[in-house]
Chain A
């Protein structure tokens, strides 16, 4: 049982396995993904380290310049440096992604665990409900939500969170069911542990472990959905350097300045692909260590 690995009684095992996993057999894709993600985390926490320029500094003499060694990503219609804006926009975009994923997984955990442990009636009811929600694509559900509450950062987070929750809920439910019916849970019951003790010690840790990978995967996807909304003009208003807002602002100039769309999009794609690839890597790692 791998839970014993994490007990404080055997720190040397934890340390050794950790170093081993760092050094041995880590695929290149996972390393690259980690580097890309680290770049974005630095951009979010300390954008000054990555660029010396001011994201709001207007220089009308340098308006709509194509990417060059002075302006890596080019400049926008007011001559603002796009690379700087993308770096400064990272924080808000990451927060939207994390917020939406957190919300989605929170809702999904409540629904999934209730369905998995709550007996046949609760399971049937929640399952039916999820089936109905699956009939609504994420984008459409999010748009419905924006129609009601109007575009804003909060709406974007809640809309994307609600839209993606059903998928996670179904996954968590499956996981809880699989763990509940597993041999070691049966054994724990057989040993006379109380129901609560079994849930706390065996069911929750094992059912929730794959979520580490899912959160990583989800943040990338959430940012893609949220910026898709923003792209349609249903997100944060343009003066902000948030990535979706940059896309929205650049649409007017698409025939004159392709970089205004392509470069912020590149940041989103890089983040989403890195998150997905690292998430997949974690998933296989975690599945491998499953008891």
Chain B
């Protein structure tokens, strides 16, 4: 809310002197709340990074031995002579606190370490594969919102039968495991009907089924939250006022009640984005779609900890950014928040 508040006040052209002190106070509280938000965002990322650092360095077993054994695909004791170059290269013999600050310093410059398995910087490993996953994540979010808004505007507070069927379907969708839904979609639409490629590429045809796999359960969650809000919104005085002004039912639903009821859904989306991003693993694996999912599963199987930790940090960053965006979206949608 703070970002908008500052923008609004800079654009302010009203020369009304009486409102000046109040405005100034707004700028101040606005900046302060923006500051707190950014600080807590950085705090979450820092804590997440520290967490992954501790996991990597406090792991049972000698790190250099682990790395060398993984490089050669063997499990054996290593001599000091063999371990020396590894320790030298990664600085494993330095005191933990030195390693920690080096890790944080690297992180600040975008260096997430080196993959044990691929011998490439983790940031490169992620960067090579991130694009399809981002496309999939956002398409799923869009699909979820589209389904949920159409269903709710169409059914909420109309015919009792339709509205209860729709809310039953929402509960069902929210409870569906993504892997199962994905398999059903694959079997029905790709294998039996042949409408989509079985092995998904990065094209539009290969995007829709994976996006539905992630989007339908999310639509169920969003729908449950938004429906409650929408139904109570239909009875609010502002909806009544709009109707009294002669606005049609669809107008009231779309222009007033919907706007009122999407707010909790937006909060949920901010939280869901990180979750979608990691659930993309499942969709990518069912539809053999390129992306971070394959990288992640391979890394988990080969115990390539730096890659897994890199993805964990990335998801924490996505989560934090998404939540900052949610705050901005809130003020865009609900003008009351600008002045409160």
Contact = CB atoms under 8 A, between A and B. Distances in A.
Interface of A: 128-129, 131-132, 134-140, 143-144, 146-148, 150, 220, 224, 227-228, 231-234, 247, 254-255, 258, 261-262, 265-266, 268-269, 272-273, 276-277
A103 B291 CA distance: 33
Nearest to B285: A232
Given A136-B274, A140-B278, A147-B299, 13 more contacts: A132-B47, A134-B319, A135-B315, A136-B315, A137-B278, A139-B275, A139-B278, A140-B315, A150-B303, A220-B175, A231-B282, A231-B285, A254-B191
A283 to B, nearest CB: 13
B177 A261 contact: no
Contact of B177 (A234, A254, A268): A268
Contacts of A136: 48, 274, 312, 315-316
Contacts of A137: 274-275, 277-279, 315
How would you classify the secondary structure of chain A's contact residues: helix, strand, loop or mixed? helix
A228 B282 CA distance: 8
Interface stretch (B10-18, B99-107, B144-152, B178-186): B178-186
Contacts of B184: 262, 265
Contacts of A227: 177, 179
B59 to A, nearest CB: 6
B291 to A, nearest CB: 14
B258 to A, nearest CB: 26
Contacts of A228: 177-179, 282
Interface in B128-145: none
B67 interface: no
Contacts of A255: 191, 198
A254 B183 contact: yes
B187 A272 contact: no
B297 A233 contact: yes
B301 A234 contact: yes
Which are the 5 A-B pairs with shortest beta-carbon distances? A265-B180, A137-B275, A132-B47, A140-B278, A135-B316
Contacts of A254: 183, 186-187, 191
B47 to A, nearest CB: 4
A288 B229 CA distance: 21
A139 B281 contact: yes
Contacts of B282: 139, 228, 231-232
B122 interface: no
Contact of A134 (B171, B175, B180, B271): B271
Given A132-B51, A143-B296, A255-B198, A148 B305 contact: yes
